[in-house]
Amino acid sequence: MKLVIGDKNLSTWSWRVWLALHSWGIPFDEVVILLDKPNTTAEILKHSPSARVPFLHDGDLGIWDSLAIAEYLNEKFPQKQMWPADMKTRAWARAVVCEMHSGFADLRKLMPGNIKKRLTNFDYSPVAKDVARIQEIWTECRKAHAHLGPYLFGAWSLADCFYAPVVWRFVSYGVKLDGPVREYVQAMLAHPSMKELERQALAEQG
């Protein structure tokens, strides 16, 4: 399989799928296309008809959109258990992932993902509603699953891959973190695949 992604430092949608492949030990080649360059769209269009990354090549199949790719990986590698095993828990996990996938536009706009960035005193009050809702999601997930492990649904799942970009946004923009939210961010930053992605992003030029 070959994954087409944007910069390791910037491409939040790419992070989700890269984390899924890396964390579940699925071998893949990668093509990195730098975003915000004059030829970015032309380069992406060589792979993806949506002019967006991530895009996954698997033989003669091509899939775009991070959620469609994640669901494909889940079906292709059922033994990896990317979603929680219990049906009701799985439905909850998909609900929070879909809420992330289709929402929080204000937060994305005001606080673009950038692993290298560290701001103090950033005024995130214009997106306080988004920040509060995400913290509510994390707190409720952690409350119900803390006995099973440190991630949203206990064990590492696709839900964590989809919320990883917010973890870095909260760190980059100095969002105040307390209690279970703080613990979750710490657990995420300590995950080996999160650390590897961070290492590669910090090493990236540009």
Ligand X SMILES: N[C@@H](CCC(=O)N[C@@H](CS)C(=O)NCC(=O)O)C(=O)O
CB of 197 to ligand X, least distance (A): 14
List the beta strands (DSSP E) in 6-165. Answer: 29-32, 55-58, 61-64
CB of 163 to ligand X, least distance (A): 14
CB of 38 to ligand X, least distance (A): 11
SS3 content of the chain, % helix, strand, coil (to 5): 55, 10, 35
Pick the closer one to ligand X by CB: 160 or 187.
160
Yes or no: say if 77 and 24 are a contact pair by the CB < 8 Å rule.
Answer: yes
Binding residues for ligand X, per CB under 6 A? 6, 11-14, 35, 40-41, 52-54, 65-67
Tell me the C-alpha distance between 107 and 188, whole Å.
20
Pick the closer one to ligand X by CB: 14 or 157.
14
Geometric angle at alpha carbon 11, from 141 and 77, rounded to 5°: 60
Pick the closer one to ligand X by CB: 66 or 157.
66
CB of 102 to ligand X, least distance (A): 9
Pick the closer one to ligand X by CB: 65 or 160.
65
Q: Which residues contact 151 (CB under 8 A, 6 or more apart)?
A: 145, 157, 159, 160, 184, 187, 188
